[in-house]
Amino acid sequence: MRLRTVAVLGLVAAATAAAVVRRRRRSGPPAPPAQLGRRDGAVQHLAADNRDLPALRARAEDLRAALETVL
């Protein structure tokens, strides 16, 4: 009985570990807070502490509100 319990717990632990590994592989690196792309292909990522980010987020929230308004 005790052996069966240990076996079940072992299987659960192995399945959980495998799921965590799969999730990490699938998710990849976290998305940057903001990304600015230029016509020549250059891409600029704004860091979380970038001083322009709050204003950009505020404008993006305004645009989101407008986009979510469906007439």
Partner 1 sequence: MTVDEAIRDLLNVSTDIDRLVVLDTGGEVLGAGPGVADAAVGAATDALWRSAAEAAARGADRAIDAPLEHVVVDLGDAAVVALEAGGRRIVALTAPDPPLGLVVFDLRTCLADAFPDEGPGGTVTPAAAPHDPVTPAGEVAS
Residues near partner 1 (CB under 8 A): 27, 29, 31-48, 50, 52-53, 55-57, 59-71
Closest CB to partner 1 among residues 1, 65:
65
Closest CB to partner 1 among residues 15, 52:
52
**Minimum distance of partner 1 from residue 58's CB (angstroms):** 8
d(CA 23, CA 15): 12
Kindly list the distances between the CA atom of residue 67 and the CA atoms of 28, 29, 36, 54, in Å, as whole numbers in the listed order: 28, 28, 20, 20
Closest CB to partner 1 among residues 5, 27:
27
Looking up tokens 């959980």 gives 16
